[in-house]
Amino acid sequence: MTKINAVLLAGGESSRFGSDKALLYFAGMTLIEYIHNNLQENFSRVIVVGSKDKYSFLKEAEIREDIYQNRGPLAGIYTGLYYSESSYNFICGCDMPFLDKDYFDLLKKEKAEELSAEIIVPRFKGYLEPLAAIYKRSLLAKIKKEILADNLKIKSFYQNSSRRIIKEEILKKDLTVDLERLFFNLNYPEDREKALNYFMEGADKIAKAEK
């Protein structure tokens, strides 16, 4: 099986949330630790893109600073791909804690079926999920071009890249998890309670299954 690394974007100022989401206390640890642990269990190597000083508490984590500073998540994608030796890389943000093994396996399967695709991305409720997707390292030049042109929209390079879009019907057919939960992300302070409720629901299901 082709080696796939993961890139975790630690995020910026989290202006809508009001504080650094990555440092939010969640499930007995910080949110970024929770997501980092999950990625470690499912991918060959995990690269965290963020401040080495700020996230130094992540034990044995590989942390890389943005090559292009203050350029948003697009620069984070570029940095992660730059430091990865793998042709394929799963990239996500630090605010989606419920992406799971079944979802990762679906992405890997879709990648295997469409090796020419530079982007493997799901569509949910009519929108693409660019920070829950697989990207080829060969996209580096295209992304760099957009950054240098100050075109910093996260999907700025999509139009000129080959994509395999996983439709919502496929997600519903191949996954048993609630898609609202799967793609839930914390944008605002009030989202924290919903995230904790989702976590408790998941823990209850696991406990019942183990009985």
* Residue 189: per-residue pLDDT: 81
Count of the separate structural domains present in the chain? 1
Q: What is the pTM of this model?
A: 0.91
CB 97 within 8 A of CB 31: yes
Query: CA–CA separation, 139 vs 143, rounded Å?
Result: 6
- Token pair belonging to 192: 């924290």
Name beta bridge partners: 9.
Answer: 49, 93
Separation between Cα atoms, residue 32 and residue 84, nearest integer Å: 20
Alpha carbon of 72 to those of 49, 58, 106: distances in Å? 11, 22, 28
Query: Which structural domain, as residue segments, surrounds residue 136?
Result: 4-210
Cβ-proximal residues to 192 (8 Å cutoff; 6+ apart), any chain: 24, 26, 186
Q: What CATH code is carried by the domain that includes residue 139? A: 3.90.550.10
What is the reported pLDDT for 75? 97
- Mean pLDDT, consecutive 10-residue segments, the chain of 211 residues? 90 60 90 96 97 91 96 96 97 95 96 92 97 98 98 96 97 95 90 86 59 58
